[in-house]
Amino acid sequence: MPMNFYNEKIMDKIRIAIIGTGYIADYHARGLQQLADVEIVIAVDTQLESAKKFTAKYNIKEVGSDAMNTVDRDDIDALVIGIPNKYHAPYAIEFLKSGKDVFLEKPMAMNSWEGNEIIEAIRATKQLLMVGHMWRFDTEVNHIRKVVQSGKLGKIIKTKGYGIHENWGPSGWFTLKEMAGGGALADMGVHAIDTVRYILGDPEPVTVYAQIGTNYGDYDVDDSGIIIITWDNGTTSIIESGWWHPHMDGPEAGTRLFGTKGYASVFPTFLKYKVEEIPGEFKAPMPERSEHCDQVIYDRQMEHFIDCIRSRKQPSPGFTEGQIVLNIVDAAYMSSQKNEVVTLK
């Protein structure tokens, strides 16, 4: 269960350091700059020129190339970390120990062992940590979650989720096992895993079976995966992950849910169920999207993080949600290697 911590400190202005100025940092910066009484104090990147361009773009006063120089600074309350997975745990732990709250991009760590180290640091310091599973803040995802939780679709028997890049894949550190821990599963599959778990009401995983491989590129990480998860609520989820696939049945975090009384789809978002024994398809009006991963998702994500800093309440998704995804990913890699079902509970 998430922990709640409270203290007497009242913050007039929340001062943030952004660690890593790559693609995802733009979304975080835009979200933070929409919030009152929030200041991005410094942007840090080992590629100093990238950091300089970032600070100029967002009118941030200070730039740096070494994140560790911010650890002991009293003028920084929290950090937003968007750097290679290898550094998630060591950086987060250092910042937590220094009395700072942390927003950590997904996945929470390279593996579940590192995730447990982060959790130990959180319990020891009573600081806050949020993990960037941003689809929990999406309007369409929450619409389907509400319907599923209402029971209108009956018992959800199975789900299918997708985290696939069609005719494209990342490069750089994403494709290096030493830096990323895994490939398409750690990059894309984690979105689909967390999204379906959230829609289902955050059940606990029981077993994992997976077939994972490298078929589309020359790297030491995976670009193809099929994962089967059984949950303690009786639902079975199929998760597909991949890069460079010639086709995908659904976009990033696309999810299909098959219930005893109906069906739900996220991206495209619609429902199928019977009204007076007559089957029908139903679509609720949704806000227009400027892009699939729309800025508003990140706006809400950053707003929640800042609200939690002020209230001293552990964020959701936080270390609990992040660790469960890591447990599933580790089990999937183990299952594929051994060609057997891995039991988690």
DSSP assignments along 203-265, one per residue: PPEEEEEEEEE--SSSSSS-SEEEEEEEETTS-EEEEEEEEEES--SS-TTEEEEEESSEEEE
Cβ proximity of 338 and 120 under 8 Å: no
Same-domain pairing of 26 and 160 = no
Q: Are residues 126 and 167 in the same domain?
A: no
The per-residue b/e assignment along 202-217, b for 16 or more CB within 10 angstroms, e otherwise, is bbebbbbbbebebebb
Q: Are 284 and 218 contained in the same domain?
A: yes
22-50 pLDDT tens trace: 999 999 999 999 999 999 999 999 999 99
Q: Are residues 59 and 171 in the same domain?
A: no
Same domain, 120 and 148: no
pLDDT at 344: 97
3-state secondary structure 19-81: ECCCHHHHHHHHHHHCCCCEEEEEEECCCHHHHHHHHHHCCCCEEECCHHHHCCCCCCCEEEE
In a domain, 321, yes or no: no
- DSSP label at 111? S
| pLDDT given for residue 7 in this prediction | 41
Per DSSP, the chain holds a count of helices (H) and strands (E) of 10, 15
Q: What is the pLDDT of residues 173-217, one digit of tens each?
A: 999 999 999 999 999 999 999 999 999 999 999 999 999 999 999
339 in the same domain as 310: no
Residue 320 lies in a domain: no
Output the domain CATH number for residue 160: 3.30.360.10
Check whether residue 35 and residue 140 sit in a common domain: no
pTM: 0.95
Total domains in the fold of the chain: 2
Q: Which residues of the chain have pLDDT under 70?
A: 1-11
* Pairwise CA distance, residues 254 & 192, whole Å: 7
The answer to the question of residue 339 being in a domain is yes
| pLDDT for res 12 | 84
Task: Give the pLDDT of residue 11.
Answer: 61
Please tell me whether residues 241 and 307 are part of one structural domain. Answer: no
* Domain interval for residue 187: 136-295+326-343
Residues 225 and 309 occupy one common structural domain? no
Asked if the structure places residue 217 within a domain, the reply is yes
DSSP 292: S
Helix axes 139-150, 190-199, angle to 10 degrees: 40
| CA dihedral sign, ordered 251, 253, 259, 261 | negative
Residues 157 and 96 in one domain: no
In the numeric block, which tokens belong to residue 53? 């361009």
CB 96 within 8 A of CB 127: yes
In a domain, 255, yes or no: yes
CATH number at residue 91: 3.40.50.720
